[in-house]
Structure 1
Amino acid sequence: MNKSEIKSFLDEKVIQYNTFDFIESDPIQIPHLFSQKEDIEIAGFLSATIAWGNRKMIIKNAHKMMDLMGNSPYDFVMSHSEDDLERIESFVHRTFKGEDFSSFIKGLRHIYKNHNGLEAVFAKHQEPDSMQKSISEFKKIFFEIEHQNRTQKHISDPTNGSAAKRINMYLRWMCRQDNKGVDLGIWKSISPALLSCPLDVHSGNVARKLGLLTRKQNDGKALAELDLKLRELDPNDPVKYDFALFGLGVFEGF
């Protein structure tokens, strides 16, 4: 396929998969449970953090996180007690354990108390053509609180060569605005044009088969390569193609 044919094919797949039905099998359903901005942000951030492995298990454990916070994530973050933190120590999702959950609650409180919230931190460090430096700066600020070293691995750093799949997915949820009702689009200070595709094994394999990606590893260099190609297809909303690449890989075995 030439570039025009690839664009037409992927545009059709975006229309097919970027629909409200997508929500019921995706972790994005968790922030959709809430209406307050801060609740949506925190629910989305925590759900994206554990978004690796079996999707049903991700969704189940993300719901469990919300239950442990009394289904009031912002209130829990800002006014939790030590007893509350002890109650969440039982949480486990693969290598993300209760102690990590507890540190994340403290990190989020630090972000809201001292840095005007999640949107403000990500928006402050955005560059003209990418959010990857912003993700790295966010991680530094997030871990200014006392924490165990092991917890740092649960937020990727693009400056260390990571594709930062989960944070890029989270930014899609928060920043991308369309009329399909899937992405929440509550952050207005970051343009969707700056977003990167959440690169994983599914989207990476499909991108290679379509000639959008030559690098074999799903790392930061591969993400930069894919970014360039997707921005050529749609400079204003390149990350919409995540729906096409992911849908083709997961649902169609392309």
Structure 2
Amino acid sequence: MPKASRHRTIALKRIPDLKPFLDEIITRVEVPAYIDKDPVLFLHAYDDVTDKQLAGFFAAIMAWGRRDVVIAKVSELMERMGHRPAVFIGSYTEADRDALAGFKHRTFTEEDVHHLVLILNRILHEYGDFEAFWKSVRQQALTQQRELIATFHERFMAYHTGPQRTRKHIASSEKGSSCKRLYLYLRWTVRKNSIVDTGIYTFMPASELMIPLDVHVARHARRLGLLGRKQNDWAAVQELTKKLRLLRPDDPAVYDYALFGLGIADITVPEEIIINKRIP
């Protein structure tokens, strides 16, 4: 007998029953102590808004694996930039490449960072700051009725003149990616009235954010019956975010704290709300 193609899911009318449990987790996880243990700290480390934008972007796209390792590698990269990412990137030329020599984080190499910095340099010179570029991207996406990150990928990579390998670091929903790292960046920069997220961007409302789908968020969403799809891809992001909007239409991404929090905090999930008990 073939395996089921989807996990069991909770009935839509029962999703609001999860709100008190998930909201209580948010109050425990979205606290000041979260910042120092998460790559979001790089948006809190600088006073200059462009430094925040750029340091946060690298922190997000490098957010693979253990958070302490990510923090250590982003710290190294910021040190190589003299802890002035806006100045370093804004004035960067091929002659400055020695500052990046030997840098590596997972599949990120010195060459990848070099070309990403060149792209950002061109964007800064054309738009003035990174948010202005995002605003232009969103306007195009709305006009074309196209997903934001797919448009961002196309526009961002239009400045790229380097090797094909660097392109894989900037996800696109049109290629099926969950786009977790880019939506993590947008959660950090778009959400307002948060202890953790900075709200430095005003170009889009939090209601348009999608859930940053990592393996922990996906696993707990499936346990609770909020996600039936078995693949961690763009279709899964759409499915989960649509259901989270039933809980907070104006701020669905806040439930990243609840679902991620189940993986990092000592929280017992009541048996009666677990839909897929075989998922550990």
TM-score relative to the length of structure 1: 0.94
1:37 maps to: 49
2:256 maps to: 242
1:226 maps to: 240
1:194 maps to: 208
2:66 maps to: 54
Give 1:132 deviation, angstroms.
7.4
Farther-moved stretch of structure 1 (76-85 vs 231-240): 76-85
Aligned partner (choices 89, 100, 114) of residue 126 of structure 2:
114
Work out whether residues 134 and 203 of structure 2, in 8 Å CA contact, stay in contact via their aligned partners in 1: no
Structure (1 or 2) with the greater helix fraction = 1
Say if 2:230 is the partner of 1:216. Answer: yes
Structure (1 or 2) with the larger CA radius of gyration: 2
Work out whether residues 49 and 166 of structure 1, in 8 Å CA contact, stay in contact via their aligned partners in 2: yes
SS of the counterpart of 1:223? Answer: helix
Tell me how far apart the structure 1 counterparts of residues 149 and 187 of structure 2 sit (CA, whole Å): 13
Q: Kindly provide the CA deviation profile for residues 71-120 of structure 1, in whole angstroms up to 9, marking residues without a partner as x.
A: 00010011124332122021100110100010111011111112343212
Over the residues paired in the alignment, what is the CA RMSD in angstroms?
Answer: 1.7
Work out whether residues 205 and 249 of structure 1, in 8 Å CA contact, stay in contact via their aligned partners in 2: no
Amino acid at match of 2:165: R
Say if 2:178 is the partner of 1:166. Answer: no
Give 1:7 deviation, angstroms.
0.8
Tell me how far apart the structure 1 counterparts of residues 130 and 148 of structure 2 sit (CA, whole Å): 11
Work out whether residues 89 and 97 of structure 1, in 8 Å CA contact, stay in contact via their aligned partners in 2: no
The total of aligned residue pairs comes to: 251
TM-score relative to the length of structure 2: 0.85
Amino acid at match of 2:134: F
Tell me how far apart the structure 2 counterparts of residues 70 and 119 of structure 1 sit (CA, whole Å): 22
1:149 maps to: 164
The one of the two structures with greater contact order (alpha-carbon pairs below 8 A, sep at least 6) is: 2
Work out whether residues 81 and 99 of structure 2, in 8 Å CA contact, stay in contact via their aligned partners in 1: no
Tell me how far apart the structure 2 counterparts of residues 92 and 13 of structure 1 sit (CA, whole Å): 35
Unaligned runs of 5+ in 2: 1-9, 270-280
Q: Kindly provide the CA deviation profile for residues 132-162 of structure 1, in whole angstroms up to 9, marking residues without a partner as x.
A: 7221222222222311100000111011111
Tell me how far apart the structure 2 counterparts of residues 240 and 179 of structure 1 sit (CA, whole Å): 9
Give 1:37 deviation, angstroms.
1.1
Aligned partner (choices 146, 162, 176) of residue 191 of structure 2:
176
Tell me how far apart the structure 2 counterparts of residues 146 and 75 of structure 1 sit (CA, whole Å): 22
Work out whether residues 92 and 118 of structure 2, in 8 Å CA contact, stay in contact via their aligned partners in 1: no
2:273 maps to: none
Q: Kindly provide the CA deviation profile for residues 51-78 of structure 1, in whole angstroms up to 9, marking residues without a partner as x.
A: 0012111000000010000000010011
Tell me how far apart the structure 1 counterparts of residues 175 and 85 of structure 2 sit (CA, whole Å): 30
Give 1:179 deviation, angstroms.
4.2
Unaligned runs of 5+ in 1: none
Work out whether residues 15 and 246 of structure 2, in 8 Å CA contact, stay in contact via their aligned partners in 1: no
Matched ranges for 1:11-22 at <5 A: 11-22=23-34
SS of the counterpart of 2:245? Answer: helix
Work out whether residues 132 and 158 of structure 1, in 8 Å CA contact, stay in contact via their aligned partners in 2: no
What percentage of residue pairs aligned between the two structures are identical?
A: 37
Taking structure 1 as reference, are residues 192 and 54 closer, same or farther at Cα in structure 2, changes over 3 Å only?
same
Tell me how far apart the structure 2 counterparts of residues 51 and 32 of structure 1 sit (CA, whole Å): 16
Amino acid at match of 1:39: D
Tell me how far apart the structure 2 counterparts of residues 94 and 104 of structure 1 sit (CA, whole Å): 16
